[in-house]
Chain A
Amino acid sequence: GIQVEQSPPDLILQEGANSTLRCNFSDSVNNLQWFHQNPWGQLINLFYIPSGTKQNGRLSATTVATERYSLLYISSSQTTDSGVYFCAVDRSQGNLIFGKGTKLSVKP
């Protein structure tokens, strides 16, 4: 089956720093999503990005489907960005395969 690997597993930043999170996947996919799981456990949709680049405020994402990876950029990080970031690819029929996540801690 499709493998999804995220790196780094843990990341500690000082407030205001920039970061790049990576998601590699082992097969071609039709859908890729990035989520933020906040400290209360809620999964927040960040991007639906099967290919190309999208931006939403301080966050942007790029997926290069032909090379089987996606990147999530966080600029000028804030403490509220802390949590776990997941990428997930769609195996079809609504079955998302999640990576293990990147745990981000932003220090004031």
Chain B
Amino acid sequence: EAQVTQNPRYLITVTGKKLTVTCSQNMNHEYMSWYRQDPGLGLRQIYYSMNVEVTDKGDVPEGYKVSRKEKRNFPLILESPSPNQTSLYFCASGDRDYQPQHFGDGTRLSIL
């Protein structure tokens, strides 16, 4: 089954404790992205990657890191999480530019 898998689905943690949200896709897609969803602000792109070892900032990259060492994986790293990073996060993948984007089930992060 074609899918984008995020882990964990839910996480409550404390300020400053490094965390990683994993994302994996099994569709051999070139493009992968991370979004965050916040009430009143909608979904906004954090980082994207067009291929292995190629990443770039989206609209709200501050406080996040990403890496793309393998085509299928695109982890999101919060080196020193803060409460303003409490949000619902989505990973997405797409075959190439202007093709449908497929989203994971989301990760709810709470930073206390």
The bracket for how many chain A residues form the interface is: 20 to 34
Report the minimal beta-carbon distance from B8 to chain A, rounded to whole angstroms: 14
* A95 and B45 form a contact (CB under 8 A): yes
Q: Is B88 an interface residue (CB 8 A)?
A: yes
Given A41-B88, A94-B33, A94-B94, residue A100 in contact with residue B48 (CB < 8 A) = no
Q: Is A90 an interface residue (CB 8 A)?
A: yes
Report the minimal beta-carbon distance from A97 to chain B, rounded to whole angstroms: 8
Nearest B-chain residue to A1, judged by Cβ: B59
* Interface stretch of the complex, out of B12-20, B65-73, B76-84, B98-106: B98-106
Which residues of B lie under 8 Å from residue A88 when comparing CB positions? 43, 101
* A94 and B92 form a contact (CB under 8 A): yes
Which residues of A lie under 8 Å from residue B108 when comparing CB positions? 41
Interchain CA distance A41-B102 in the complex, whole Å: 14
* A48 and B100 form a contact (CB under 8 A): yes
Q: Is A69 an interface residue (CB 8 A)?
A: no
- Give a binary string over A78-94; 1 marks a CB under 8 Å from any B CB, 0 the rest: 00000000101010111
Q: Which listed residue, B31, B32, B42, B58, touches A98 by the CB 8 Å rule?
A: B42
Chain B residues with CB under 8 Å of chain A are 31-33, 35, 42-43, 45, 48, 50, 56, 58-59, 88, 90, 92, 94, 97-103, 105-106, 108
Enumerate 27 A-B pairs (CB-CB under 8 Å) in ascending A order.
Answer: A30-B98, A31-B98, A31-B99, A33-B100, A33-B101, A41-B108, A42-B106, A45-B100, A48-B99, A48-B100, A86-B42, A88-B43, A90-B97, A90-B98, A90-B101, A92-B98, A93-B50, A94-B31, A94-B32, A94-B50, A94-B92, A94-B97, A94-B101, A95-B48, A95-B58, A96-B33, A98-B43
Chain A residues with CB under 8 Å of chain B are 30-31, 33, 35, 41-43, 45, 48, 50, 86, 88, 90, 92-96, 98-101
